């Protein structure tokens, strides 16, 4: 393991330990508060928004996704196809959800595959530059790369708690910088990539 990978692993472990230590009731309240931020997101009806089904102590993005649905968004969730690939399947009311990897849930194989225009992205840690540490598998980096290959430039918004911020995330060439991070204290914008 390279020094950079070891450092990322340690930063991930520390940030997740801080997140895990947050009281459950507080995490729920803050997740609901973040959903209120959806009121400020400009959204055309029919805009495709990818969210994520929460796992472990993550921000519960479901209230945020449902607030965006009320504004006319089409929702989708990631589905892991194999060890390197995710696609985004449409989430519609009443559709049965199936178990996915990592203990999450999502639409089954019959759901339409969509290309998101706005991506709510889970993360383990982030820094003030918008660099993120995911969970180590690289699914989102590859999925974003595929969207870019299609000529798409989705609006990417990381979703986390403030306690997941670290001083500096080590840069690697394949890393995707997230220009916006939504936390319980609001939406932060980074750099000139907007």
CB 156 within 8 A of CB 178: yes
Binding residues: 8-12, 58, 132-140
Domain assignment present for 138: yes
Task: Give the pLDDT confidence of 23-60 residue by residue, as tens digits.
Answer: 999 999 999 999 987 777 789 999 999 999 888 999 99
Instruction: Return the CATH number at 8.
Output: 3.40.50.10420
Binding residues for substrate: 58
When pLDDT is averaged across residues 78-99 and rounded to a whole number, the result is 87
Domain assignment present for 112: yes
Domain assignment present for 194: no
CB 70 within 8 A of CB 44: no
Task: Give the pLDDT confidence of 119-171 residue by residue, as tens digits.
Answer: 999 999 999 999 999 887 788 988 999 999 999 999 999 999 999 999 999 98
What local confidence, expressed as pLDDT, does residue 191 receive? 67
**Buried (b) or exposed (e) across 110-121, using 16+ Cβ within 10 A?**
ebeebebbbbbb
Q: Which domain holds residue 81?
A: 3-187
Domain assignment present for 116: yes
CA–CA separation, 157 vs 115, rounded Å?
15
Domain assignment present for 193: no
What local confidence, expressed as pLDDT, does residue 82 receive? 80
Domain assignment present for 74: yes
Query: Which spans in the chain are helix H?
Result: 3-20, 24-36, 62-70, 139-149
Binding residues for ATP: 8-12, 132-140
**According to the 3-state scheme, what is the secondary structure of 146-159?**
HHHHCCCCCEEEEE
């Amino acid at each position: 393991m390279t020094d950079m990978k070891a450092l990322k692993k340690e930063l991930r472990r520390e940030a997740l330990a801080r997140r895990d230590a947050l009281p459950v009731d507080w995490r729920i309240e803050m997740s609901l508060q973040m959903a209120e931020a959806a009121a400020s997101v400009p959204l055309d009806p029919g805009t495709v928004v990818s969210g994520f089904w929460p796992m472990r102590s993550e921000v519960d993005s479901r209230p945020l996704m449902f607030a965006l649905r009320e504004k006319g968004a089409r929702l989708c969730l990631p589905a892991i196809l194999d060890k390197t690939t995710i696609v985004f399947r449409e989430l519609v009311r009443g559709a049965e959800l199936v178990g996915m990897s990592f203990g999450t849930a999502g639409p089954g194989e019959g759901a339409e595959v969509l290309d998101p225009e706005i991506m709510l992205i889970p993360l383990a840690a982030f820094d003030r530059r918008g660099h993120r540490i995911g969970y180590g598998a690289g699914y989102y980096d590859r999925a974003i790369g595929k969207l870019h290959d299609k000529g798409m430039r989705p609006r990417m918004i990381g979703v986390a708690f403030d306690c997941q911020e670290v001083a500096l995330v080590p840069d690697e060439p394949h890393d995707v910088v997230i220009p916006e991070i939504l936390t319980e204290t609001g939406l932060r914008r980074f750099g000139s990539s907007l």
